[in-house]
Amino acid sequence: MDNSSTTQHSTLATGGSYVAIVTPFHDDLSVNFDKLTELIEWHIAEGTTGIVACGTTGEASTLKDDEQLAVIAHVVKVVQKRIKVIAGAGSNETPHSLYLSQEAEKRGADGLLLITPYYNKTNDEGLYRHFATVADKVNIPVILYNVPGRTGINIPITVLKRLAQHPNIVAIKEASGNLDYVLKVAAECPELAIFSGNDSQVLPVLSLGGVGVISVAANLYPKDFAAMCAHYKNGNTAEATRLQIKYARVIENLFTEVNPIPIKEAMNLQGWNVGGFRLPLYAMSETAKAKLAKAIQELK
């Protein structure tokens, strides 16, 4: 790992609020780069720490490789180093993940978000080698993404301890929802910065030594999610707690259907016009949308 990667490692370890940004679409479901530019500029103005492009919320699973890399390149170009850009580059095929990771690095990403292999899954040694193979061949830091509810695989602590020794693997986005697991990560893998992958658990994860959040709800409320992390870091836990509780009902309604359906519906309700979804994702049910709209309105 070169000196620039070491600097990026230390910067990521300071944490904050990273938005798992949506990928806006035109009516024909092509990527709306003009809208993406608008969203990025708004996030920078609102105090977001970094942009995570082409994650789950960014619908990477329905983007072709050239589209995914074009989105990452566009985010890097618009951001111009004002905040961090993390590129989703995960796959359940290791060579594919390596290809996406190296291409994202070429396009200027500051770091990578790599999900555990899904569907085919793997054994412990395969899991270690999957991540290590990518980390060995890039010069930007890697954030592991643990979300067993989507992938069917949870990174065992024994494997995580080995991965934490790799100089290029610097953090974990922890979205299992299991705070006992977060505690074990904090205790057994102090080398790793821990980001909450669940908007409902930002404060609990911070209280266990976490450094921030990679957030879905921050697509709508970037200023308050950045403030939540900053208040906690600065010792104002009462204000951080107030903000966590303030968004409890909206967060609940943002996950009544599979992400990113509700967040894109919510953004459209708020006038952002980020477009629809690519199948198999489909429009939110009217009942669920009405509850979401009510929760958003009550915040006002």
Mean pLDDT, residues 272-283: 96
Cβ atoms 84, 18 nearer than 8 A: yes
Mean pLDDT, residues 80-98: 96
What are the beta bridge partners of residue 262? none
pLDDT at 13 over 70: no
Mean pLDDT, residues 217-246: 96
Q: Name the amino acid, one letter, at 266.
A: A
Say which of 128, 145, 232, 247 is annotated catalytic: 145
Cβ atoms 112, 133 nearer than 8 A: no
Nearest to 188 by CA among 214, 212, 211, 209: 209
Say which of 173, 232, 264, 289 is annotated catalytic: 173
Active site residue 173: yes
Query: CA 245 to CA 237: how far, in whole Å?
Result: 12
Q: 11-15, 17-21, 214-218 — which is least confidently predicted?
A: 11-15
Span 157-179, pLDDT tens digits: 999 999 999 999 999 999 999 99
Active site residue 119: no
Domains along the sequence of the chain with CATH = 3-234 (3.20.20.70)
Mean pLDDT, residues 10-23: 85
Q: What is the DSSP letter of 26?
A: -
Cβ atoms 183, 21 nearer than 8 A: no
Q: Report the SS3 class of residue 203.
A: helix
Beta strand pairing status for 16-20 and 169-174?
Answer: unpaired
For residues 64 and 121, which has the higher predicted lDDT (pLDDT)? Answer: 64
Cβ atoms 111, 89 nearer than 8 A: no
pLDDT of residue 300: 78
Cβ atoms 188, 158 nearer than 8 A: no
Instruction: Read off the pLDDT band of 15 (50, 70, 90).
Output: confident
pLDDT of residue 3: 46
Q: Give, rounded to a whole angstrom, the gap between the first and last alpha carbons of the chain.
A: 47
Instruction: Read off the pLDDT band of 299 (50, 70, 90).
Output: confident
